[in-house]
Amino acid sequence: MEDFDYTDQQFVEEPKRSNINVLDIFSVIALITSFCLGGYFLLVFINPYTPLNPLSPPTPISPLSFPTATMTPLQLEPTWTPTPTIQPTPSLTPRPTWTPIYTKTPFSLYEPTNTPAPTATATPVVPFTASVSPIASTIIHPEAECNWMGVGGTAEDLNKSPILGIVVRVGGTLLGKTVDYTTVTGVSPAYGKSGFEFVLGEAPIPSTNTLWIQLLDQAGLPLSEKIHFSTSAECDQNLILVRFTKVR
C-alpha cells in the first residue's frame, strides 16, 4: 500500500477564479457610453433646436407674408344716364390758290467767251514690264523635285544689266489664304545677279490669276503694274519665272 500513500495536502481544492475582470467592466461601461453618445447625436441631428444642443442654430425667420390685393370694380351710380355727344358737322374749307413765284432772268452786259476745257493729263506709264512663264523648279532647286512651288526672276535696265535693291512684292490669295511677301532684287543669285524668289508652298497648287507680282521703289511707289499670274498643279510648272525689263 505504499504506492497509494497520499497526503491530505494533495486533495486540497484550489479556489475558483472569477470570470469577470476589470477590463470587461470597462468594456461594458464604454459600450453603454457609446450608445448614450450615439443617441445624443441622433437627437441633435433630428432636432438641432433641442435645448440639449449647446450649439443650436439661430431660429429661422418666417418669411414675410403680404395681404392679397382684391380688385373692386368701379360701378356707376344707379341713376346715371349717359349724355349723348353731338358730333360737329364738317365744313369744307377752300384751299388757297397757287401763286407762281417770280424768277429772275439773268442778263449780261457783254458777250461771254468760250473757255476751252482743260485737257486731261496723261497718267505716267510705269517704266518696267514683265514676262511670266511657268517652268520646272528642278532647274533652280533640283533637290526639291516636286515638293516645292514658288515665284522667282530678275530685273534688268534698258541695257539688259541687272538692277539690285529694287523692292519686289507678291500678293493676292492662294486657296483662300492671303499672300503678301516682300523682298529685293539681288538676294537670290541662282536666277542671276538681280535674282529674287518667293516660296509659295511645299507642293504645286493650282490657281487662276489670284496672285500678282509688282516692282516698287524704295518709297513704295510702283515701278510696274500688278502682274497677275496663275499656278499649276503640274510638277513641271511649279516655278513661275518673272523677268522684269525696263522700257523707258
pLDDT at 130 over 60: yes
Whether residue 195 has pLDDT greater than 50: yes
- Examine the domain organization and report whether 155 and 242 are in the same domain: yes
Lowest-confidence segment of 86-100, 151-165, 175-189 by average pLDDT: 86-100
d(Cα 90, Cα 101) in Å, to the nearest integer? 33
Position 184 pLDDT exceeds 80: yes
Query: Which CATH number characterizes residue 203's domain?
Result: 2.60.40.1120
Instruction: Please give the residue range of the domain that contains residue 35.
Output: 20-57
Residue with cell 453618445: 37
Determine, yes or no, domain membership for 146: yes
> Is the Cβ–Cβ distance between 157 and 247 less than 8 Å?
no
CB atoms within 10 A of CB 152: 24
The answer, yes or no, to whether residue 14 has pLDDT greater than 70, is: no
| Predicted local distance difference test score (pLDDT) of residue 124 | 53
Is residue 150 in some structural domain?
A: yes
Q: Residue 1 pLDDT more than 50?
A: no
In a domain, 199, yes or no: yes
Domain membership of residue 52 (yes or no) is: yes
pLDDT at 176 over 70: yes
Q: Are residues 134 and 223 in the same domain?
A: yes
User: Does residue 119 form part of some domain?
Assistant: no
Same domain, 47 and 152: no
Place of cell 510648272: 237
Give me the mean pLDDT over the 169-187 stretch. 96
pLDDT at position 16 over 60: no
Q: Are residues 235 and 138 in the same domain?
A: yes
Res 62: pLDDT: 65
Q: Is residue 79 part of a domain?
A: no
pLDDT in tens, 23-41: 888 888 988 998 888 888 8
Helix (H, G, I), strand (E, B) or coil at 4: helix
Query: Is the pLDDT assigned to residue 147 strictly greater than 50?
Result: yes
Distance CA 215, CA 59 (A): 86
Instruction: Kindly state whether residues 50 and 134 are assigned to the same domain.
Output: no
Distance CA 204, CA 211 (A): 14
Q: Starting from the edge strand earliest in sequence, which strands make up the sheet with 149-156, in order? A: 128-135, 239-246, 149-156, 196-201
Domain count, the chain: 2
**Do 38 and 142 sit in the same domain of this protein?**
no
- Coil, strand or helix at 213: strand
Give the phi and the psi of residue 144 in degrees, each rounded to 5.
Answer: -80, -25
At residue 64, the pLDDT reads 63
pLDDT of residue 38: 87
Domain boundary among 28, 57, 86: 57
In angstroms, the CA 225 to CA 216 distance is: 10
Asked if residue 122 has pLDDT above 50, the reply is no
Q: Are residues 138 and 224 in the same domain?
A: yes
Would 153 be classed as within a structural domain? Answer: yes
For a pLDDT cut of 70, what percent of the chain falls above it? 69
Could you tell me if residue 43 is inside a domain? yes
Overall average pLDDT of the 191-215 stretch: 96
Q: What is the pLDDT of residues 48-101, one digit of tens each?
A: 777 777 777 777 666 666 667 677 766 666 665 666 666 667 677 767 666 666
